[in-house]
């Protein structure tokens, strides 16, 4: 199985994250946090039950 979240977190640590947005629906995911990266794949959707985890990571980045 592809380590989806581990890979995303590694990409964030490597400063590949360009931005993020919350959307009501992305494909079949509702609601959804969309992470935008500068490298491929450029968009990674995150389901609601993982929002808090990613918000903590994003807040830590903002404080740097």
Q: Structural domain boundaries of the chain? A: 4-63
In whole angstroms, give the CA distance from residue 22 to residue 1: 26
pLDDT of residue 1: 53
Tokens 């490298």, located at residue: 39
Task: Grade residue 61 by pLDDT with cuts at 50, 70 and 90.
Answer: confident
11-55 residue pLDDT tens: 999 999 999 999 999 999 999 999 999 999 999 999 999 999 999
- Count, in order, helices (H) and strands (E) of the chain: 2, 3
N- to C-terminal Cα separation, the chain: 33
Residues in the chain, total: 64
Q: Bridge partners of 23?
A: 32
The dihedral of CA 16, 24, 58, 5: what is its sign? negative
């Amino acid at each position: 199985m592809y380590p989806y979240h581990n890979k995303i977190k590694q990409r964030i640590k490597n400063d590949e994250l360009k931005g993020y947005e919350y959307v009501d629906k992305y494909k079949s995911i509702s609601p959804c946090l969309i992470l935008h990266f500068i490298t491929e794949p450029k968009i990674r959707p995150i389901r609601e039950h993982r929002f808090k985890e990613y918000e903590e990571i994003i807040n830590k980045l903002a404080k740097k």
